[in-house]
Amino acid sequence: MARLFGPGSVPLVPAGGWAAWLVILAAAVMAFLAVLALAAGLAAASLGAEWRAELSGSATVRVGGDDDAGLAAVLEILAGTEGIAAARALEREEQSALLAPWLGDGAALSELPIPRLIDVTLEGRGPDAASLAAALEAAAPGSVYDDHAAWRGPLISAAAAIEWLAFAASALVALAAAGMVALAARASLAGNTGVVRVIRLIGGQDRFIARAFIRPILWRTGTGAALGAGAAAALLALLPGAGNVVGLDLAPGGGRLLGLALAVPPAAALIGWAAAAVAVRAALRELP
Amino acid sequence: MISLSKLSFGYDDRETLRAVDAEIAAGSFHFLTGPSGAGKTTLLKLLYLELLPDSGQLLLFGNDPMAGGQRERLEIRRRIGIVFQDFRLLDHLTVTENIALPLAVHGRDPAQHDADVNELMRWVGLTHRADAMPQALSAGEQQRAAIARAVITSPDLILADEPTGNVDAEMGMRILRLLVELNRLGKTVLIATHDLGLIRSAKKIVTARILRLADGQLALGGSDL
């Protein structure tokens, strides 16, 4: 006799027809969305970290006036300031190259009153911005110390907000998946009260019945999630320039993408199992 | 085996069984008869613990199911094989799978009991229908499959609720003979039926006691049959 009623054998609960396929489809869609949301969250987190690292490690000094004496005085002050690792005055050609996109290649920059810029590399927690600004003002009036805080903050906040939104979206997808599985489990039980009654009458424990109902739901949820996560990972990998997306190794075979694709199906199956277990046991308690 | 003492049960405000007393000895063969609505099915449900009595005492195999918890009641239920009038075979399982179902439910591996299942199918005459689905069977075949399912775990007590209610007279006799054979193997058999012809036929092949249920009261009967 073929093995009966165990894993991979004759199911104790009827297959469920289109409802079973709907569970697989819904799990696939949920996993697809979860992978996309998590990928967006990871990308935002990496982007924020990169901005934070790059921008918090540098500053710019705009030197007041256009004489070399002022530039030299400012460089001297910067060289002696704690928290500054290096300071380098940009050459006029470099400044011209920076402005070229806005002013055009033919602009006569030498005729414009463009202040000299110094690129500053910070170390540790950086200098005391207020006292440094006062010293620079004294050495070369009109000099400004810019640690990028004015626009670094909103950028990093925006990246953090996107990161949290993406993770919140993932959590909502997980919650929706749990609800969907719980509904499917209850519907399965409601459609098979006759089976439940017979199994109880021949001496079946509710624990046995619950397992019989949960097992196929677990299988369907896991299968759907694997399909959905695989599709999402494939889509991300096929995006143009996917391998270069900041901080997220999206190229085919990329570690983080592969990790996502592999982590979501078991997580979905676990959520499905927990939701189905709670729903089935509650429904069994309600049955006379 | 079974002892009922002042057992009462009612649905809502309608009392179906009133202070019923009865003793059923191990290895005996009983008919439970009475008009429709007399409470035969209710009494059987009390015996297989689908219902619990409102008052009185019920002893099964010497145990009081009311005194124990769900686990104890489950253990008692596993010693009872039930045959329903409407068979209650699971439609998505084959005849073989339906017969083997109690083995799986009781935690035994059906694959280890191939010989038992095959022997039972031979005994009820369904070997040729082993892979058929219940819908493809006649009523008589379904009832024989249900009897095989009821006895696959070798229960001590067989409760049959109108087992011949959905089959013709000839098949009714065949089913009765199966139940009598089980009794000869030492099983206690209690059949609820309103078919007096069946009881008269049975008296020719088995020594049976007849319990008559009327107006919520149980009495020994059968002298008029």
Which one of A202, A206, A281 would you mutate to disrupt binding with B, by most B Cβ within 10 Å of its Cβ? Answer: A202
CB contacts, 8 Å: A11 with chain B: 92
Alpha-carbon torsion angle B80, B83, B87, B90, nearest 10 = 20
- Yes or no, beta carbons of A194 and B88 under 8 Å apart: yes
Question: 3-state DSSP call for residue B159?
Answer: strand
CA distance B79 to chain A (A): 9
Task: Characterize A7-38 residue by residue with b for buried, 16 or more Cβ atoms within 10 angstroms of its Cβ, and e for exposed.
Answer: eeebbbbbebeeebebbbebbbbbbbbbbbbb
pLDDT-based confidence at residue A109 (cuts at 50, 70, 90): low
Closest chain A residue to B78 measured between Cα atoms?
A203
Return the minimum-mean-pLDDT range out of A24-33, A46-55, A138-147, A170-179.
A46-55
Q: Which stretches of chain B drop beneath a pLDDT of 70?
A: 222-225
Please name which of A157, A182, A189, A148 lies closest in space to residue A273, comparing C-alpha atoms: A182
Closest chain A residue to B90 measured between Cα atoms?
A195
Say how far apart CA A276 and CA A287 lie, in whole Å. 16
- Yes or no, beta carbons of B114 and A199 under 8 Å apart: no
Give me the helix-helix angle, A206-238 and A149-190, nearest 10°. Answer: 140
Say how far apart CA A237 and CA A244 lie, in whole Å. 11
How high is the pLDDT of residue B142? 94
Parallel, antiparallel, or unpaired: how do β-strands B14-24 and A116-122 relate?
Answer: unpaired
Query: A38 φ, ψ to 5°?
Result: -65, -40
Task: Characterize A114-135 residue by residue with b for buried, 16 or more Cβ atoms within 10 angstroms of its Cβ, and e for exposed.
Answer: ebbbbebebeeebbeeeebbeb
CB contacts, 8 Å: A205 with chain B: 74
How high is the pLDDT of residue A4? 57
CB contacts, 8 Å: A2 with chain B: 111
Q: pLDDT tens-digit profile of A198-254?
A: 999 988 888 889 988 888 888 899 999 999 999 998 888 787 765 555 455 554 445
Q: What is the helix (H) or strand (E) element at residue A85, kind and residue range?
A: strand A84-89
The number of angstroms, rounded, from the C-alpha of B61 to the middle of its chain's C-alpha atoms is 16
CB contacts, 8 Å: A3 with chain B: 110-111
CB contacts, 8 Å: A15 with chain B: 92
Please name which of A220, A192, A201 lies closest in space to residue A283, comparing C-alpha atoms: A192
Contact between residue A34 and residue A173 where contact means Cβ atoms under 8 Å apart: yes
The number of angstroms, rounded, from the C-alpha of A166 to the middle of its chain's C-alpha atoms is 6
- Yes or no, beta carbons of B102 and A203 under 8 Å apart: yes
What average pLDDT does the segment A100-108 reach?
71
How high is the pLDDT of residue A189? 87
CB contacts, 8 Å: B104 with chain A: 4-6, 12
Say how far apart CA A177 and CA B156 lie, in whole Å. 47
Asked if B218 is an interface residue toward chain A (Cβ–Cβ < 8 A), one would say: no
| Residue in A4, A198, A203 closest to B110 by CB | A4
What lies within 8 Å, CB to CB, of A240 at 6+ separation is none
| Residue in A3, A197, A202 closest to B105 by CB | A202
Please name which of A70, A54, A74 lies closest in space to residue A121, comparing C-alpha atoms: A54
Which one is predicted more confidently, A112 or B165?
B165
Give me the helix-helix angle, A149-190 and A193-201, nearest 10°. Answer: 60
Residue B222 is encoded by which pair of tokens?
A: 């059968």
Angle at A212 between CA A210 and CA A215, to 5 degrees: 100
How high is the pLDDT of residue A251? 45
pTM recorded for the entire structure? 0.72
Please name which of B71, B66, B50, B48 lies closest in space to residue B5, comparing C-alpha atoms: B66
> Which residues 120-159 of chain B have a CB within 8 Å of chain A?
149, 153
Side-chain-side CA neighbours of A25 within 13 Å: the count stands at: 6
| Residue in A4, A6, A201 closest to B48 by CB | A201
Asked if the model's pLDDT at residue A269 lies above 50, the reply is yes
